[in-house]
């Protein structure tokens, strides 16, 4: 459930080198969850996410300790092309897609068995020190919920 929030975050998930000679994606690096600034249902106890450029696009990996104390390690490599890419380690989704909609904004979709389970907007602050992931998903009763996870650059 919250892993979907993370997934969105996963989307938030991601730096990519745009073209040969282009500057690297400003989100590349390591980010630590700021639980004091994060809001929503079941904010994780902790999470560290890393974005890295790779030959196949952007690789996102994160380790999280959920509000329930369970640990997960999630990984995906993707591009900002709106296509689905496989995700490993998440109990809530097995694929994600991402599309850049602004210089510091990426919109992502997380899917499980081909069905959309959540959407995430990843925003990088102008000073590039804060990463915010806003994830929307339906809970077990079908009600829409949101979580806003805030990360500090390490």
pLDDT digits (tens, 9 = 90+) for 27-62: 999 999 999 999 997 799 999 999 999 999 999 999
Strands 57-65 and 46-54: antiparallel
Q: Is the CB of residue 78 less than 8 Å from the CB of residue 100?
A: no
pLDDT band for position 1 (cuts 50, 70, 90): low
* 1 contacts: CB under 8 Å, gap ≥ 6: 42, 92, 137, 139, 140
pTM of the model: 0.84
d(CA 25, CA 53): 8
Domains, in order of start, for the chain: 2-153 (2.40.128.20)
Chain segment 16-28, per-residue pLDDT in tens? 333 445 678 999 9
Sign of the dihedral defined by the CA atoms of residues 57, 52, 106, 1, in that order: positive
pLDDT surpasses 90 at 4: no
């Amino acid at each position: 459930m919250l892993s979907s929030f993370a997934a969105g975050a996963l989307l938030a998930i991601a730096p990519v080198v745009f073209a040969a000679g282009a500057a690297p994606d400003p989100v590349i690096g390591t980010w630590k969850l700021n639980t004091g600034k994060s809001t929503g249902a079941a904010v994780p106890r902790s999470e560290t996410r890393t974005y890295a450029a790779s030959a196949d696009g952007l690789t996102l990996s994160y380790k999280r300790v959920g509000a329930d104390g369970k640990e997960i390690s999630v990984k995906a490599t993707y591009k900002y092309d709106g296509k689905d890419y496989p995700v490993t380690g998440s109990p809530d989704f097995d694929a994600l897609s991402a599309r850049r909609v602004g210089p510091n904004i990426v919109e992502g979709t997380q899917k499980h068995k081909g069905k959309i389970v959540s959407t995430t907007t990843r925003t990088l602050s102008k000073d590039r020190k804060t990463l915010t992931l806003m994830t929307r998903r339906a809970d077990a009763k079908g009600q829409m919920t949101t979580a806003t996870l805030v990360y500090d650059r390490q």
